[in-house]
Chain A
């Protein structure tokens, strides 16, 4: 019998990739909503995985003509235990007609179509409104960057990486090893020859020895000078980059004027900064400081979801941040980043104080300080005060007025520029 066994495993895995994309494209709107939902529920440090997305089953159904409930239907079922002919059974649930569903469908009672988005796809949807340049998107999505360093030697490689010194060293040791047996024979013969020549001994024997010696020398010369397996190449290995630490301060005004929407925008801003830092640093601490007239260090949950009333004193948060830096994150050991989100309102007398604090004590310690003012109206008090900083710390201070998600990215522009420069 003719037959054939084929190993298909090495061939394409993602035959359905196109179909998968078609599906995502078709339900773009649904997925975007679900992603927005997930972003709001998710911690900002937790962006490294995909997400389960659910869409109402009704919306993804493929309709066909089929029987509905009602009428008179016969069905044969297996596993009778107690019934005899003529028994009457109450309808299982929900009154008239509910027993009429197709038996074959009873396995799937869910109302939602659930599937998993990969991390890549998830980030794609998340970044969609932010108008990130493609290059940046790619940088953010690559989990790790590598640097190539030399790590020892290998026996295989490309000619350009040939290490001459090691190759010759290896050739020499091979020659020594291979010639060892012959040299062991040569040595006593030479000694014998020396004694014979000194004592003018047997001419015939001397001749024999000389002949033998020249034969051995020839054999020794046959050991190749350089052989294929002597060749050593520099080994290049990937090493994740870099390994230093960073701390990210999130500062947010939680006074009464900060609405839900403003906080959501701020959250995206913080996520973006976190993703960016993650790209550059292996370990990132995040410190959340919220303030109204008083500042306090809180966890993420409280940071985004609790609401306070009252006025705003920005300097309180800055003071707290300075305190935390001094106590826990000495700037010699940590790369310090800070991001502040606010609607721009501040106690009028406080703005100069805040400014002064930043200028004299904080900014010198920081890698970067980003301020976004989320407001639809004109610049507010804090903006005016910060303008002064912009001149003095042009390379480590950025601020931007944001009224919708697409405005967020330009704040980062500077950051990326600095990095590539």
Chain B
């Protein structure tokens, strides 16, 4: 520490600086009761950041062309200056790995350390979704297992076969998660040990299911139990367990994709909260650092400038608009929760009687630990934030000539906007609701899926057709998909041997 009392000076960082920052910020964070996994900070170059980027931040993964595509596109955008790279990338693992770019200035590194190493890190450790659904200490080992397994399959069964299988699984990745049931934690050790055992067992299960077919061929329609008994939402799980012709190694790969999807599922459900939490804390922690006189004005100004850039929200009509910025929304909400606790207005006392005037630190921790985006917004989106972001709701109904504005930031609109926005973050509404409905056990072994339409919103037909081909590749018998609106089939797709037939909008039938 220098005579001025500053822990860091200048704009170039050194490894010593980073250590000092980690220690000081860590001390302050502990004062705010931020509970984190141990930090592992890794310094990387821009090129390495592009690598990390394209593999969605996984430190290692199996090889696949889609990651190459992602890399090429990132590289192209970066080189042409269309986009800057993130300052950091953080992985939900124990120890928590954060990548810092070498190009960052000292102030930026401080921001990143506060944001990732303490903000995201504590969120990973504290939020209930992450606690119940992912196992931070096992993920890296599992990824190693997955990578090795896929490589082995490529060797043994050929690159093309493996790639085609992965393509098909990726198409259904979003439908490879258990939404309500808690999955078993993944462990590379167990996976390896049990894998052979499982292969045999699974195959046997599948055989059992299908063996009954010839015997029961002549049975009457009635009395035949429907399979599956209940509709299944986890398509990949259903395929892994029941697809008739998949070989054991293929089932294992389906499982790997499914497990990876499951690992990312909490992240997809907590974008706003996670980024908001991290942004709220980098702002709070670094301001405390400044208040204690450990950093100077220039340092703080640079931080504030970056902070302002991060939480910029262009209006809906701006050419830069690309949806609601999760940093902005999350940061605004956490900041507002603190305000409501510390200095509530009459309006706040009316809307949030349970938190107005309470201890702010307790309240934000409670919010972080027990909510996901959807419920967080439903619970905490305050009129102040709605006014600040000037949110409004529109109804786009193809039965109407025009789009209607149904709510704006006024007394009548707050509740509506809050509900609609929460809905917007409900993953099961963002994605079409598609479930396994029935398998034809006695006849042609065809698989029937049902798409339950909501508010008449149809599927994207082009993509649906392609996905069905992938599904057919896994199931290897005919695949049917029916869009259902109010118990009527509005649209149906049939996929037999690589060609798809559609039956368009028969709503009148």
- Residues of A at under 8 Å CB distance from B? 1-9, 11, 13-16, 18-26, 52, 60-81, 83-91, 96-97, 99-100, 103-104, 106-107, 113-116
Contact = CB atoms under 8 A, between A and B. Distances in A.
Contacts, number: 281
Nearest to A108: B322
Interface string B56-98: 0000000111111101110110010000000000000001000
A6 B402 contact: no
Given A23-B72, A99-B403, A113-B69, A74 B79 contact: no
A65 B459 contact: yes
A59 B64 CA distance: 16
Nearest to B59: A15
Contact of A85 (B99, B413, B420): B413
B455 A71 contact: yes
Nearest to A58: B462
B300 interface: no
Contact of B315 (A8, A18, A79): A79
B404 interface: yes
A72 B406 contact: no
Contact of A19 (B54, B397, B417): B54
Interface residues of B, number: 105
A72 B173 CA distance: 26
B406 A74 contact: yes
B161 interface: no
B398 A68 contact: no
Contacts of B41: 3-6
B42 A80 contact: no
Contacts of A86: 404-405
Contact of B322 (A8, A65, A79, A104): A104
A-B residue pairs, 8 tightest by C-beta: A79-B315, A23-B68, A71-B457, A19-B68, A71-B456, A63-B466, A115-B72, A107-B322
A235 to B, nearest CB: 31
B421 A83 contact: no
B316 A13 contact: no
Nearest to A9: B45
Contacts of B314: 79
A102 B417 CA distance: 18
Query: B30, B50, B66: which has the most chain A beta carbons within 10 Å?
Result: B66
A8 B404 CA distance: 53
B71 A20 contact: yes
Given A23-B72, A65-B464, A71-B398, A78 B457 contact: no
Interface string B434-460: 100000000000000001011111111
23 contacts: A3-B26, A6-B41, A8-B42, A9-B44, A9-B45, A13-B47, A18-B63, A20-B71, A23-B69, A68-B461, A72-B456, A74-B424, A76-B393, A77-B393, A78-B389, A80-B391, A85-B410, A91-B396, A91-B402, A103-B322, A106-B321, A106-B322, A116-B76
A97 B456 CA distance: 12
Contact of A7 (B43, B73, B316): B43
A232 B461 CA distance: 76
Given A83-B392, A116-B79, A4 B39 contact: yes
Given A62-B170, A100-B398, A84 B405 contact: yes
A397 to B, nearest CB: 45
A115 B432 contact: no
Contact of B65 (A2, A19, A89, A116): A19
B396 A65 contact: no
Contact of B313 (A61, A78, A88, A90): A78
Contacts of A16: 50-51, 54-55, 67-68, 71
Contacts of B369: none
B117 to A, nearest CB: 8
B394 interface: yes
